[in-house]
Amino acid sequence: MLSDLTEPKGQLLLINGKTEDEVGRSLERVLLTMRITTSEPKDVAFIVDGWALEIALKHYRTAFTELAILSRTAICCRVTPSQKAQLVEILKSCDYRTLAIGDGGNDVRMIQQADIGVGISGREGM
């Protein structure tokens, strides 16, 4: 019982790189891990920054879409408003219903692209 409390509940996989080759290798490594993992999709998440996401969407869109379908959670940091909307669009193209929640003007495109869009009023970033 104690081991259940100390072991992580899932995996967090990082997609990174500054070049097309680096991002491609990183994406392939994460996809391989996702394909062979015994965890349920809800137990696996990936994290990607805006630079790596830009390269993935431009050069590895099919692989990135597969990754998005295989994982339950994506953590995207330092992404542009356009990238936010593209992520929602990718999931909608795979027949997923999407919910986008934003707290600032830069989230409007993402919110509009989603099946359900929620804008939170208040101080942006809070």
Share of the chain above pLDDT 90, in %: 47
In degrees to the nearest 10, what's the CA dihedral of 28, 20, 88, 84? 130
38-83, pLDDT tens digit by residue?
666 557 888 999 999 999 999 999 999 999 888 878 888 899 989 9
pLDDT higher for 68 or 19? 19
Residue 79: both structure tokens together: 């992404």
Mean of per-residue pLDDT scores for the chain: 85
Please name the residue ranges forming H helices in the chain.
2-6, 20-36, 50-59, 61-70, 81-93, 108-113
Distance CA 114, CA 8 (A): 31
pTM here is 0.79
Mean pLDDT for 5-22 is 79
Indicate whether 93 pLDDT > 60: yes
